[in-house]
């Protein structure tokens, strides 16, 4: 939860970053998220565990704030969003 709050605060300060983060979250959403409770566009838990394991070697890792910000910016620049 701390990471989410920190990213939200950074997004308030930098609107372009907020847009990058929203686009990133939307890209990671589960298919048919609107059919399952809690009806939120969240990524599948197993997918996120796999991502954390491949990135940090621990499926329960919480990425550092700067890593998430850099990835969101990188994604925008590479995908030209």
Can you give the pLDDT at residue 80?
83
Q: Tokens representing 24?
A: 């990133």
Query: Rg of the chain over CA atoms, in angstroms?
Result: 13
pLDDT 10s digit of each residue in the chain, 81 long?
799 999 999 999 999 999 999 999 999 999 999 999 999 999 999 999 999 999 999 999 999 999 999 999 999 999 886
- Domain total of the chain: 1
4 to 64, 67, 74, 78: CA distances (angstroms): 11, 13, 19, 24
pTM: 0.84
Report CA dihedral (19, 21, 27, 28) to the nearest 10 degrees: -160
Residue ranges making up the domain that contains 48: 2-79
DSSP E strand boundaries for the chain:
none
């Amino acid at each position: 939860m701390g990471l989410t709050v920190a990213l939200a605060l950074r997004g308030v300060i930098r609107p372009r970053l907020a847009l990058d983060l929203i686009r990133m979250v939307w890209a990671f959403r589960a298919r048919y998220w609107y059919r399952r409770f809690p009806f939120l566009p969240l990524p599948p838990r197993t997918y996120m565990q796999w991502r954390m394991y491949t990135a940090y070697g621990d499926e329960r890792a919480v990425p550092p704030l700067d890593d998430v910000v850099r990835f969101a910016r990188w994604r925008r620049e590479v995908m030209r969003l």
